[in-house]
A and B are shown apart, each in its own frame.
Chain A
Amino acid sequence: MSQPAGVLSQPGNKVSAAALRLLDGLLVRNPERTAIGVALGVAIDGIVGVFWPLLASRGVHLGRPDWWASVSIGLVVVHLPFVIWSIRNKPLINDELESLMQLIESTNIGEVEKRAAYRKLVNRCIDDFSLSNGPGKVKGILGSEIEAVRGHSD
């Protein structure tokens, strides 16, 4: 698998890209946290199961919640950082990279050129991370990249 086989056709490429986004959406972008969330939900269900008769015997009738409600609570708890991030609307990487990607997406170029632009962007970042000793260099290179793309789009 060192060299790409190039077996994905154009529709296959689109379908697999959409499927990946869909699956990530179902797993809320993080399979590990989702698995932990389900385990936590089971734990919450068990704890509620223990306290429920105790509370009922003392006159507090809250009702027995369904198992899926406990699992939902567990999932929300473990994904809380992601939920907060979504509310604050902060970029996942940094502002320059986000704006550069928005620029590529909104520029009226063909699909193939867009793909090449994304690959080029990732490759520039790989080069920069691999060769520099500090993280400060990323901004400078991305700045020039933004200028280059803006020049083309103008």
Chain B
Amino acid sequence: MIHERRLRIIAGFFIVWGCAIAMEAVTLSLLGGETWSRSNHVFSKLVFMIGLSCQLIFQGPSRSEVMERLRRRSGAEACRLDRVYLFFNIDRTVRVVIVVVLLWIVGALMGLVNGQGAWPLTGTAVFLALIAGLRTVVIFARVSAGRFGATQYEARELLVFLSGMYKSSQAQFDPPGRLRRLVEVAEPVTAPHNAQVAL
């Protein structure tokens, strides 16, 4: 599985390079030599940036690969759906932050080259990274307290995640053991709202 993933990453990287070179050839033929040299190869640079961002984000481990890692690291007993969701989101956030740092570097370079455009792009990148990081912290806190998946919104998130996990790897869904259920948190039983009003 790891070998296959490495091959996928290398192939993806070559595809990005190929697309950037193809873009250079197309712009040269469309714009002509003089305009092409004045364009500062901006098209191939942008294709490369977008391609690299997509490569970084979408080449992450799949849901079932995250589950497999978690099972190896923490044992089958700890392999609960909410924890798999948490670790999958941590991985995604790290990738998003890497892309955002890439954008920040581009913004800084733009600022160095033409003296403008650095701060808005840097600000957007930092804001995005902060929100993504904060989201992961909130999920971590809720999963740690055993409260994640107990609202309509979160239950829907978990079920969408579960169905995506099942669809992406039907043959290897849960070897060697079952995915664990959410932990039932012992909570004091409360009377329904209308009963309280009646009392």
Q: Which residues of A (82-115) have their CB < 8 Å from a CB of B?
A: 92-93, 97, 101, 104-105, 108-115
**Contact at B145–A8, with CB atoms within 8 Å?**
yes
Give chain A residues whose Cβ lies under 8 Å from the Cβ of B182.
119, 122-123, 126
Give chain A residues whose Cβ lies under 8 Å from the Cβ of B121.
42, 67
Indicate if A2 sits at the interface (CB-CB under 8 A): yes
Q: Which residues of B (115-150) have their CB < 8 Å from a CB of A?
A: 117, 120-121, 124-125, 128, 131-132, 134-135, 138-139, 141-147, 149-150
**Contact at A36–B188, with CB atoms within 8 Å?**
no
**Contact at A122–B93, with CB atoms within 8 Å?**
no
Q: Which residues of A (51-76) have their CB < 8 Å from a CB of B?
A: 54, 67-68, 71
Indicate if A144 sits at the interface (CB-CB under 8 A): no
**Contact at A47–B43, with CB atoms within 8 Å?**
yes
**Contact at B144–A21, with CB atoms within 8 Å?**
no
Chain B residue, CB-CB nearest to A7: B145
**Contact at A1–B143, with CB atoms within 8 Å?**
yes
Give chain A residues whose Cβ lies under 8 Å from the Cβ of B72.
none
**Contact at B181–A123, with CB atoms within 8 Å?**
yes
Complex Cα gap A46–B191 (Å): 60
**Contact at B83–A4, with CB atoms within 8 Å?**
no
**Contact at B174–A3, with CB atoms within 8 Å?**
no
**Contact at A7–B179, with CB atoms within 8 Å?**
no
**Contact at A20–B142, with CB atoms within 8 Å?**
yes
CB distance from B45 to the nearest CB of A (A): 8
Give chain A residues whose Cβ lies under 8 Å from the Cβ of B46.
42-43, 46-47
Give chain B residues whose Cβ lies under 8 Å from the Cβ of A8.
141-142, 145, 147
Indicate if B178 sits at the interface (CB-CB under 8 A): yes
Indicate if B21 sits at the interface (CB-CB under 8 A): no
Give chain B residues whose Cβ lies under 8 Å from the Cβ of A49.
42
CB distance from B55 to the nearest CB of A (A): 11
Indicate if B155 sits at the interface (CB-CB under 8 A): yes
**Contact at B144–A1, with CB atoms within 8 Å?**
yes
Cβ proximity bits B149-175 to A, threshold 8 Å, 1 near / 0 not: 111111110111011001100100110
CB distance from A82 to the nearest CB of B (A): 12
**Contact at A4–B144, with CB atoms within 8 Å?**
yes
**Contact at A122–B149, with CB atoms within 8 Å?**
yes
CB distance from A46 to the nearest CB of B (A): 5
Which residues of B are in contact with A by a Cβ distance under 8 Å? 35, 39, 42-43, 45-47, 49-50, 53-54, 57-58, 74-75, 77-78, 81, 83, 92-93, 95-96, 99-100, 102-103, 106-107, 117, 120-121, 124-125, 128, 131-132, 134-135, 138-139, 141-147, 149-156, 158-160, 162-163, 166-167, 170, 173-174, 178-185, 187-194
Contacts A/B (CB < 8 Å), 5 sampled: A8-B147, A39-B103, A119-B155, A123-B181, A126-B162
